Structure 1
Amino acid sequence: MKTNKVYLIQADDTLIENAIQNAIIIAPNKKEAVSKFRKELADNEECDQVYDGNFFKCRRLDLTDQHVFIQYGGDTFRFSEVEREEI
């Protein structure tokens, strides 16, 4: 039985107009999450982005870990730089 997991895909590039900066993807694994996100970018007429692992980072979210990930303003940070706050 496949168990779905939750992945956060976040862009490092904020300069692209109409860019998708953050996406939550539910998938059985990281490879499938990236595949679904690539398809969304390709099918989304409002977006000119193409998936490139140099500009997007994908990370599985641990839903048992009670933290809030915060991003300020229009700046995009790598996951290691996003602030985590205890709940």
Structure 2
Amino acid sequence: MTPHTTTQPGALRRIVQRVRTDDHCLCSEEHELGVHALAVPLRNARGATIAALNAVVSAQRPSPLAALRALLPLLQEAAAELRPLL
């Protein structure tokens, strides 16, 4: 946990709902100070989420929004390519 970790149940529920809607998750320094983490779901051929694919970058590099813009299309493409294998 860090000072940025979401610990309130209501706030966590709102984040989970937003992740479901957005189909990705971006966290900034929530699990480790100094890093942004971006994740997308990995779904099998039936569409069930079975895992996640993520990238972690230094918070000293791009802003969270810049990391999202740069990495989200790449992660989504990789997840789509992996789908037939899952």
Which has the larger helix fraction? 2
TM-score normalized by structure 1?
A: 0.31
